[in-house]
Amino acid sequence: MEITSIFGLPAHPLFVHVPVVLVPLAAVGAVLMLWPTLRSKLGWATVVLAFVGLVFTQLAIGSGQALRGYVRETATLNHHVEIGENLRPWAFLLSGFTLAAMLWDWWTQRHVVGAEAPENSTAAPGRSVSATTVQRVSLGLCVLAIVSGALSMYWVYEIGHSGAKATWEKTQVKIDKGVSNGGDGGGESGGGG
């Protein structure tokens, strides 16, 4: 989906700020999900953060592709565009693994029988999964979420930095040289991003 503007402003810089905030928060949530008590308190919120971050990642990519036709092409902008989609698979995996960890917890709390099953379990007779297996699967899903969250955060940084550089590189050159626009408060924002 390519949305070019919102409220009279280019949509891309508005959309990108959502995954810039939510993807790292979801990654931190994935780390906190290692502890079962925190997973039960924060797990579903982490899933929501990850999925909203994923949706806005896609919106940012689409709006960036739409914006590209309206800005001057530079090497820095081309680099930003080239790496711009690298976040999508990692944000997808972060969303998927956090959801899988929570669904696994939900399923084991309702269907696991045995000495380690909760008293309020509605487990079907004959289904038995050891506590060790439950813990290992939970740990594995959380570790996968953490790894995908770390890689998501890396790409958020790299893509964001290249976009900011593409947008502000001309202005930064003026700042470095001490050249202003006569104190009018205006500035040139360079390319797009």
Residues 6-61: tens digit of each pLDDT: 989 999 999 999 999 999 999 999 999 999 999 999 999 999 999 999 999 999 99
**Does 186 map to a domain?**
no
**Does 167 map to a domain?**
yes
**Does 187 map to a domain?**
no
Ranges of beta strands (E only) in the chain are 5-6, 9-10
**Does 183 map to a domain?**
no
Identify residue 30 by its one-letter amino acid code: A
Look up the domain containing 122 and give its range. Answer: 5-177
Structural domain count of the chain = 1
**Does 65 map to a domain?**
yes
Average confidence score pLDDT of the chain: 87
**Does 172 map to a domain?**
yes
Give ∠ CA 1-10-47 in degrees, rounded to 5.
55
* pTM listed for this prediction: 0.82
**Does 192 map to a domain?**
no
Count of CB atoms situated within 10 Å of the CB of 113: 15
Q: Are 85 and 73 in contact (CB under 8 A)?
A: no
**Does 141 map to a domain?**
yes
Share of the chain above pLDDT 90, in %: 66
